[in-house]
Amino acid sequence: MMARAGLVIDTQTLWDQIDGLAWHLERTYWALHGYILGADVVGADETWWRLMQAEGSKRWWAWSLTVPDAVWHGIAPSRSAATAKKYLEGFEGTLLVDGYNAYDTIAKEVGGIKLAHCWAHVRRKFFDAEKHYPACGSALDMIGELFELDRGTPDPAELDGDARPDAEQRRLSARREHGPPILERLPDVVARTTRSAEVLAPPGDRLHALVLEGAHGLPGRPRTCRSTTTAPSERCVGS
């Protein structure tokens, strides 16, 4: 666009503009972080980030904290539990996560944090294995039934005022009434798909415990939310 206007802008100029904008937005950035940490349920996730430097590239990590109406990102050189602990400092509530062990460490060290594990991450394990182990299809169908419970009720995140708590209660009631019968079938499903699940989540992997070991001994199963980390649910299956 600038080139069409006859302007020659080098990358350093663009960087200076972004850096100046970041200075103006820093207070808003941290205010958004505080707003998210004030929620009862927060989604957390991380993925690797390529940091470009003069001498080449280096792997850093992009961390995300989410609630239905806001997302916050942080870039850090580490994926350690210490980094997660720093970003979550002051949070008390339910943390919706995948199987990464750093979150287990935080839950043990920090009072007031409960973990809820994401069904979308569990589903991905079975989805990846299904082409080699067709029996995984039954697990995908069961998880799909859990998702349908939410699709059958209004989304609280899209409502305001009194309509929002009413929608939350309707969704919670639907989960409590229809969720347990679906989850009661989980041990049988897991028994038929144990070998395929172990291929994707070997013993020692946190999702192995969630998918395999956690399926037994109902109702002592893990608290698990149906949402992805981009839009955490207000309540969790198993609550």
184-208 tens-digit pLDDT: 887 777 766 655 555 555 555 555 5
Q: Please give the angle made by the CA atoms of 92, 96 and 100, to the nearest 5 degrees.
A: 110
d(CA 211, CA 198): 9
Q: 53 or 69: whose pLDDT is higher? A: 69
Least confident of 15-19, 33-37, 69-73: 15-19
3-state DSSP assignment of residue 131: coil
d(CA 82, CA 105): 9
208-230 tens-digit pLDDT: 555 554 443 333 333 444 443 33
Strand partners, 74: 63
pLDDT at 25: 94
Where does residue 92 rank: exposed (0-12), middle (13-18), buried (19+ CB within 10 A)?
middle
Q: What mean pLDDT is predicted for residues 71-95?
A: 94
User: DSSP secondary structure string, 46-90?
Assistant: EEEEEEEETTEEEEEEEEEEEETTEEEEEEES--SHHHHHHHTTT
Whole-number percent of the chain with pLDDT over 70: 77
Where does residue 192 rank: exposed (0-12), middle (13-18), buried (19+ CB within 10 A)?
middle
Q: What mean pLDDT is predicted for residues 11-38?
A: 92
Rounded to the nearest integer, the mean pLDDT of the chain is: 80
pLDDT at 216: 38
> For residue 126, is pLDDT > 80?
yes
Q: What's the pTM?
A: 0.72
Residue 177 confidence class, pLDDT cut points 50, 70, 90? very high
Residue 23 confidence class, pLDDT cut points 50, 70, 90? very high
> For residue 231, is pLDDT > 50?
no
d(CA 3, CA 31): 36
Where does residue 93 rank: exposed (0-12), middle (13-18), buried (19+ CB within 10 A)?
middle
Residue 123 confidence class, pLDDT cut points 50, 70, 90? confident
Any idea which residue has 């929608």 for tokens? 167
Any idea which residue has 């009661």 for tokens? 184
Helices 186-200, 136-151: axis angle to 10 degrees equals 120
CB–CB of 102/82 below 8 Å?
Answer: no
pLDDT at 110: 87
Residue 121 confidence class, pLDDT cut points 50, 70, 90? confident
Q: Which two tokens stand for residue 125?
A: 């394990």
Q: What mean pLDDT is predicted for residues 19-25?
A: 91
CB–CB of 220/238 below 8 Å?
Answer: no
> For residue 113, is pLDDT > 90?
yes
Across the beta sheet with 41-53, the strand order is: 70-76, 56-67, 41-53, 93-97, 113-118, 224-225
pLDDT at 24: 93
Q: 184 or 232: whose pLDDT is higher? A: 184
